[in-house]
Amino acid sequence: MGPPAAGASGAGVGGLEIATVVLLLVGGFLFGIGWIVGLILVWSSRRWTPVDKLLGTLLFPGGLVLPVLAVGGLLYAASGSCSDDFAQAGKGAVVQCTSDGGVNPVLGIVIMALLVIVPIATGIHLVRRARRA
C-alpha cells in the first residue's frame, strides 16, 4: 500500500468522492457537462494520486455514454435493407435483404463488454483509493 495523496484526510469516502465517481461514469449523459464536472472534481481533489486521476480521465472519456453510443452505432451498422420483389404474379412475394456488413457479433460483444467493464472497474478503483487515502 503506497502513501496517501498529499493533504488527504483519513476520514473515509465522502459524498464528494462518490459524486465525482458517479459523474465520471454517467455524467456524459448530461451532454458531457457532468463528465467535465467529474474531471474537475477528480483533478482538484487531494484524495487521488496523479495516476488515479489519469485513469479516471482516460478510461474511458465520457464514462458509460460511450457504450450506449456504440450500441446505437452497431445496431445501425448491422441493419440492412429489405425490399419486396414480386417474382411472378400470383405466386407471392420474394423478400430480398442486404446487409451493409457490420461487426462480427463476437467481436462486438467483446468490445461492448470492455466499454462497460473498464469504466466501472476504474470507478471501483477510484473509490477504493479514496477509502485508503
- Predicted confidence band of residue 125 (pLDDT cuts 50, 70, 90): very high
Task: Give the model's pLDDT for residue 4.
Answer: 47
Task: Give the model's pLDDT for residue 6.
Answer: 45
- Predicted confidence band of residue 92 (pLDDT cuts 50, 70, 90): low
Residue 6 lies in a domain: no
Average pLDDT over residues 10-23: 86
Range of the domain at 114: 15-132
- Predicted confidence band of residue 40 (pLDDT cuts 50, 70, 90): very high
Residue 58 lies in a domain: yes
- Check: CB of residue 18 under 8 Å from CB of residue 55: no
Q: 18-22, 40-44, 66-70: which range is least confident on average?
A: 66-70
Residue 10 lies in a domain: no
- If one counts the domains in the chain, the total is 1
pLDDT over 90 at 38, yes or no: yes
Residue 4 lies in a domain: no
CA dihedral 20, 21, 22, 23 (to 10 degrees): 50
* Higher local confidence (pLDDT), 126 or 110: 126
Residue 8 lies in a domain: no
pTM assigned to the model: 0.69
Of 6, 24, 3, 2, the closest CA to residue 127 belongs to: 24
